[in-house]
């Protein structure tokens, strides 16, 4: 199978592509709406500012093809901002509507802790999730963010806590998201990407 990686200029596209290729998968990097409409699986990476991601999607006319693909049940994985973009809105860019696939808003983590939430942290499993199959409960993943999704949504499969609890892994039908960077998270990260590819196959 071919993993379609949405290339809208995000900083971590190259490392996500590299991590996927290491798993032996063919990777298609594209910002062509037609290729996104025809994809059998979609990965939306992201790092940096939420507005940059949503503006890039809109300026390349990718929002509708992406939403249609998700609506048809095409397996989707959002990474970091790619997860945050699935919600209604983000406090980081309140003037732009999110993809709105999931209810709720992305909010800034509390100021009582050091921000960005940067480094390796562990997950708290809320319910079984296909993305986390075979990954030890005590595994660490690499995070780098200051905003996060609510922890209490039905889509939340695992949470993490930094100042407050937030959704670190989500599963909603064929829609998956991770707040951390699996492409930078050593062996557990590689296993998670492999799990997604298996689900999408």
Partner 1 sequence: MSLAHRILPCLDTDGERVVKGVHFEGLRDAGDPVELAARYNSEGADELVVLDIAAARDNRPTFLATIRRVAEQLSIPLTAGGGIRSLDDARSVVRAGADKVTVNTAAVERPPLIAELSREFGAQAVVLAIDAKREDDGWQVRVRGGRAATKWKALDWARHGVERGAGEILLTSVDRDGTQSGFDLSLTAAISRSVQVPVIASGGAKLPQHFLDVFSKAAADAALAASIFHDQVQSIRALKLFLQSHGVTVRLPC
Q: Could you give the residue numbers annotated as active site? A: 80, 181, 183
What is the Rg, in whole angstroms, of the alpha carbon atoms belonging to the chain? 15
Does residue 125 bind partner 1 (CB under 8 A)?
Answer: no
102-106: long-range pairs with CB below 8 Å, 24+: 102/149, 102/153, 102/155, 102/170, 102/172, 102/175, 103/153, 104/149, 104/150, 104/153, 105/150, 106/50, 106/147, 106/148, 106/149
Q: Which is nearer to partner 1, 46 or 98 (CB)?
A: 46
Strands 140-145 and 117-122: antiparallel
3-state secondary structure of 16: helix
Taking the complex as a whole, how short is the minimal distance between the CB of residue 34 and partner 1, in angstroms?
A: 26
Per-residue contact flags (x/-) with partner 1 for residues 84 to 123, judged by CB under 8 A: ---------------------------x--xxxxxxxxx-
> What is the pattern of x (binds partner 1, CB under 8 A) and - over residues 150-169?
----------xxx-------
Binding residues for partner 1 (CB under 8 A): 11-12, 14-15, 18-19, 22, 47-49, 111, 114-122, 124, 136, 138-140, 142-146, 160-162, 181, 183-190
């Amino acid at each position: 199978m071919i993993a379609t990686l949405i290339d809208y200029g995000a900083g971590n596209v190259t490392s996500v592509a590299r991590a996927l290729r290491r798993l032996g998968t063919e990777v298609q990097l594209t910002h062509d709406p037609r290729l996104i409409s025809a994809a059998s699986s979609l990965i939306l990476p992201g790092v940096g500012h939420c507005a940059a991601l949503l503006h890039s999607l809109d300026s390349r006319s990718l929002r509708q093809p992406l939403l249609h693909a998700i609506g048809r049940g095409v397996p989707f994985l959002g990474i970091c901002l790619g997860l945050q973009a699935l919600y209604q809105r983000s406090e980081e860019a309140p003037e732009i509507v999110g993809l709105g696939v999931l209810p709720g808003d992305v909010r800034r983590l509390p100021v009582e802790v050091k921000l960005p939430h940067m480094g390796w942290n562990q997950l708290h499993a809320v319910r079984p999730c296909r993305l986390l199959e075979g990954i030890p409960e005590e595994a660490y993943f690499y995070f780098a963010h200051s905003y996060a999704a609510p922890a209490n949504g039905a889509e939340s499969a695992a949470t993490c806590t930094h100042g407050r609890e937030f959704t670190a892994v989500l599963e909603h039908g064929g829609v998956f998201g991770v707040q951390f960077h699996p492409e930078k998270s050593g062996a557990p990260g590689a296993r998670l990407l492999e799990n997604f590819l298996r689900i999408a196959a």
